[in-house]
Structure 1
Amino acid sequence: MASKAAGQRRRPTQERAKATREHILDTAARLFGERGIANTSTNRIAADAGMSIGTVYRYFSDRTVIVEELLARLLENIEKRATESIFDRSDASMHELTARLLNSIAEELVANALLVRALVAGVQFYSSGIPEFEPRLRLLIKVLLIQVLGPGDDHEYDVMTFVMINTGFSAVLRASAIEFDERQRREAIDMTAHMIGDWIEAEAARRSGAGAPVPRLR
């Protein structure tokens, strides 16, 4: 009986701890976006979060850990959106599917535009979570290509995946910058999706034989 009561007491504590942790991260994200990472101390984060510096240190040992957590959270959200857009089972052309994928990622980047700018300015690529994230993204794109084109040469698919990621996501990152308005962003992403979609659909037609219908993801 005592054990059950202890469990009931612990759950609200765990929920409060999670909420406090997220509050610190949200506060840090806002401050990093407004002031930059280098100009935002843990003391400033604690003050804006309405808590003591000791409470912040209870959850994060230093500012670097907070930055790493924010980057990991951003990449996790991007991966989730990308996965949902790729594996939405609706009938779609390659252009439509690519546009949906790129727009889903752009929406996450735009929603966190100030933080993204601060992370790009303040985080070294190879000390960030991006090298661990990129292989998962490559796997998602490679699975998509196999779904559309069917089984094929593994190395060729690796190269196609590399080209698709570098073309598509370079455009998304640039179009998601604060300087772009919604119309400009949509136009840039749609044009990129057209280029990628036409390329993949031409490859699908070539593999299927002249005059064969281009496969659609189902």
Structure 2
Amino acid sequence: MASQRLRPRKSPTQQRAVKTRERILDAAARVFAEHGYAAGTTNRIAEAAGHSIGSLYQYFPNKDAILAELVTAHARDGIASIVRQLRDGLPDGLEERLRLFVRAAIDNHRDDPALHRVLFEEAPRPPELLDMLRRAEEQAIDTVAGMLSADPAVRVADTAMAARLVVNAIESLVHRFFAHGAADDIDRFENEVVAMLTGYLTCAGTGDAGTAS
């Protein structure tokens, strides 16, 4: 269980209270994106939300609890996006299938890179969130492993490890790009990541050394 410090104080049920909580979270996202973690104080968040600091503390005990809530919501949105795309079915070709995963990761990062840096480089991560992220990662790896095993264009010998590398590489590369890249280079970045992964997966002899006995 997460520590009490990172727990919201209450989950409102009345519509007015729900909207107040949403305004606080929206204001926190703006404040953290503009000022960063250290300067993103609860006073600033309350002022940006148009509420008193006392109202904020009715819902969250501190800014770390707000950050943890923002990280959790962001992660859930990203997972839901992947699930929706998988439900609609995968494209036919390997390159376009890889592009689907790369683009989903890009879409999950592109809205507010400054906020994303705070969320994933500075925010606390409760155990429940870490468990959710691990489950989502393993589900993505299993999906990609099945996709690679069934694709005759794939030449890697160890598709299970290749799937893990693909999922981890996409997440890491996309995160670093949005932390340091230029917004007008997104299409170039997407194309190069897809080309890199396609080349790795279709290269004859890839992984042979690691499977030899």
* Secondary structure of residue in 1 paired with 2:182: coil
Residue number in structure 2 paired with 1:160 = 162
Q: 1:197 is aligned with what amino acid? A: T
Aligned residues: 186
Q: TM-score, normalization: structure 1?
A: 0.74
Question: In the superposition, relative to structure 1, how do residues 97 and 144 fare at CA in structure 2: closer, same or farther (>3 Å)?
Answer: same
Q: Quick one: distance in 2 between partners of 1:128 and 1:32?
A: 22
* Secondary structure of residue in 2 paired with 1:67: helix
* Secondary structure of residue in 2 paired with 1:177: helix
Larger radius of gyration: 1
Residue number in structure 2 paired with 1:171 = 173
Residue number in structure 2 paired with 1:79 = 79
Unpaired segments ≥5 residues, structure 1: 1-12, 151-155, 204-218
Residue number in structure 2 paired with 1:193 = 194
* Secondary structure of residue in 1 paired with 2:21: helix
- Following TM superposition, by how much is the alpha carbon of 1:110 offset from its aligned partner in structure 2, in angstroms? 1.3
Question: In the superposition, relative to structure 1, how do residues 114 and 42 fare at CA in structure 2: closer, same or farther (>3 Å)?
Answer: same
* Secondary structure of residue in 2 paired with 1:176: helix
Q: 1:20 is aligned with what amino acid? A: T
Question: In the superposition, relative to structure 1, how do residues 179 and 144 fare at CA in structure 2: closer, same or farther (>3 Å)?
Answer: closer
Question: In the superposition, relative to structure 1, how do residues 201 and 179 fare at CA in structure 2: closer, same or farther (>3 Å)?
Answer: closer
Task: State the identity %.
Answer: 24
Residue number in structure 1 paired with 2:49 = 49
Residue number in structure 2 paired with 1:180 = 182
8 Å CA contact retained: 1:46, 1:53: yes
- Post-superposition Cα deviations, 1:75-125, rounded to whole Å, max 9, x if no partner, equal 111111222233322533121121122112212211021111222442357
For structure 1, which segment, 23-32 or 105-114, has the greater mean C-alpha deviation from structure 2 after superposition? 105-114
- Following TM superposition, by how much is the alpha carbon of 1:180 offset from its aligned partner in structure 2, in angstroms? 1.2
8 Å CA contact retained: 1:164, 1:196: yes
Residue number in structure 2 paired with 1:207 = none
Unpaired segments ≥5 residues, structure 2: 1-12, 151-157, 205-213
- Post-superposition Cα deviations, 1:109-157, rounded to whole Å, max 9, x if no partner, equal 110211112224423578793454033122123123214424xxxxx55
Residue number in structure 2 paired with 1:138 = 138
Instruction: Give the alignment's Cα RMSD to 1 decimal.
Output: 2.7
Q: TM-score, normalization: structure 2?
A: 0.75
Q: 2:163 is aligned with what amino acid? A: T
* Secondary structure of residue in 1 paired with 2:79: helix
Q: Quick one: distance in 2 between partners of 1:113 and 1:166?
A: 19
Which structure: greater helix fraction? 1
